Structure 1
């Protein structure tokens, strides 16, 4: 939702990553959080923590996204920029972030990661599946709703992670804008 002309942001920037597994999303989100000194909220880590608890959760997807948004709101209220890292498969999972940003008067920046070569995505997923993450067989054929309003789209195929991160940082809107939390 665009801000009215001339409205100043009072809070820091909220950078929300989305993209299919194996597109470089977590690598770039963690790198951007380090670069910005931002809180880094990774939905996979929240889910892993919930599954390690004694709760019987079944499908914890909704709860992990809710927890990430609550943590984001707390950090934004403290004046900290936030980087949120999740697939965000559906528009319904993405939409509530607009409310988080609006309540904090933060600028919401959507960052979509892409990898147009399925073989590269598959190799990335298979490499990390050895450490207990989901295999290509489980996530390779999954799709996601189109991300219609991405502020930044970054193609990660054919670029080393550090070059992708440098390209992402260059693509960020003017970091000198007051209240963005960047700079």
Structure 2
């Protein structure tokens, strides 16, 4: 199955995606990693535009066709990006679970944004003003919301695991 994890920067997407990948033996596909590899190639500079997502869709579909569970993590701010992830799952003939990770406590979210460290060399992290000023379209279909505010990652992971198990059962 394809599990699409989206949400603003510094909400906990990467932490949850990594935990979920380890629990499901899934492939964690991170658009930040793809984009930074493109930048390191010398072919582009930040922001790279849609290319990282397009590569991500292709990689996700290839892994899904091999029977693997894919956790696709990105900000996923637009309906068109959400549709493209879903289309990759449809073409591969697998179910898709769409998840928005948020941190409803603005002070906690701001603190996370200001105190986090870079885990991909040379990846520029957005500052708080860039995060809250970002274009981010509302979701237009059913999806799971995971609010990480005031929780440990394992607590935030629990409803996600439950949703994955439910989706696998059909």
TM-score normalised to structure 1 length: 0.82
Q: Gaps (5+ residues) in structure 1?
A: 1-12, 179-183
> Partner residue of 2:31?
43
Give the whole-Å Cα distance in 2 for the aligned partners of 1:130 and 1:63. Answer: 21
In terms of fraction of residues, the more helix-rich structure is: 2
Give the whole-Å Cα distance in 1 for the aligned partners of 2:132 and 2:2. Answer: 28
Give the whole-Å Cα distance in 2 for the aligned partners of 1:154 and 1:125. Answer: 18
The alignment's C-alpha RMSD in Å is 2.0
> How is 1:91-110 mapped onto 2 (pairs within 5 angstroms)?
91-110=79-98
> Which SS does the other structure have where 2:77 is aligned?
coil
Query: Which of 51, 57, 61 is residue 63 of structure 1 equivalent to?
Result: 51
**How far has the Cα of 1:57 moved from its partner?**
4.7
- Give aligned pairs, total: 166
Are 2:164 and 1:172 equivalent residues in the alignment?
yes
> Which SS does the other structure have where 1:172 is aligned?
helix
> Partner residue of 1:87?
75
**How far has the Cα of 1:171 moved from its partner?**
3.2
Give the whole-Å Cα distance in 2 for the aligned partners of 1:85 and 1:55. Answer: 23
Query: Which of 118, 142, 156 is residue 106 of structure 2 equivalent to?
Result: 118
Deviant stretches of 4+, over 4 Å: 129-132
Give the whole-Å Cα distance in 2 for the aligned partners of 1:150 and 1:176. Answer: 17
**How far has the Cα of 1:32 moved from its partner?**
0.8
Are 2:21 and 1:33 equivalent residues in the alignment?
yes
Cα deviation, 1:136-165, whole Å, max 9, x if unaligned, reads 233233241011224311111011111111
| Alpha-carbon spacing, 1:101–1:175, altered in 2? closer, same or farther (3 Å) | closer
